[in-house]
Amino acid sequence: MLSWMSLFSEWDRRLFYWVFEEMRADWLTPLMLFFSEGNKWWWMRVTILLLWLGLVWRGGRGRVFALLLIPTLIVSNELCDVLKGWVGRLRPCVVLPIEPLVGRLSSPSFPSAHAANMAALTALGGMLGGWRVALGLLWLPLLVGLSRIYVGVHYPSDVLGGWLIGGLIGSGVGWLWRWATARRVSRPSESAAGRRGT
């Protein structure tokens, strides 16, 4: 068991170095910084807020998605924080002799909350809007997850773990909503059938 863990850790480290060093390019770095840190920039936060308000104003599935997205991201982010404290894995920018692009973060590494949140968003969108919506949103978790490795703050396994956790949470919230909606629709039909029977 230990040898398998050691082998996995070694491949994880090698893949990290491949993304962090071999993929490095002048044209790619600004894009990766945008997907990694963009949510911290004030103008990006305003843009996200306006998009969210637009979905709420539009109504229909867009409104449902926007309103369900808030608890989905809260659960995803908080669960990642709990798991980070429990696992206690040090970030590559702390353990490895590298200089990260976004500062040397000291918080635990596994799982990546950025990756989890984007996977939760994509999974929720897919559950509410179908596979085409999920496919249209798939670039978000992929690029955000890759960017976290590229800037030097997460191992690939941190990102994979985040994708898995976020995907499960987003799918779970979407499934619960569909179940509750189907149950609410079926109850009036059952009541009407009961009244006809009497």
Between residues 194 and 45, the one the model is more confident about: 45
In this prediction, residue 75 carries a pLDDT of: 98
Q: Which residue reads 């690029």 in tokens? A: 143
Quick check: 77 pLDDT over 60? Answer: yes
In this prediction, residue 190 carries a pLDDT of: 54
Quick check: 6 pLDDT over 90? Answer: no
User: Do the Cβ atoms of 98 and 153 come closer than 8 Å?
Assistant: no
Q: Which of 184, 114, 174 is nearest to 143 (CA)?
A: 114
CB 142: neighbour CB atoms within 10 A?
17
In this prediction, residue 91 carries a pLDDT of: 96
In this prediction, residue 184 carries a pLDDT of: 81
In this prediction, residue 1 carries a pLDDT of: 53
Local confidence band at 198 (pLDDT 50, 70, 90 cut-offs)? low
In this prediction, residue 152 carries a pLDDT of: 97
User: Do the Cβ atoms of 156 and 102 come closer than 8 Å?
Assistant: no
154-193 residue pLDDT tens = 999 999 999 999 999 999 999 999 999 988 877 655 555 5
Q: Which of 60, 83, 84, 64 is nearest to 72 (CA)?
A: 64
Between residues 192 and 83, the one the model is more confident about: 83
8-39 residue pLDDT tens = 889 999 999 999 999 999 999 999 999 999 99
Query: Cα–Cα–Cα angle for 130, 134, 139, nearest 5°?
Result: 165
97-154 residue pLDDT tens = 999 999 888 899 999 999 999 999 999 999 999 999 999 999 999 999 999 999 999 9
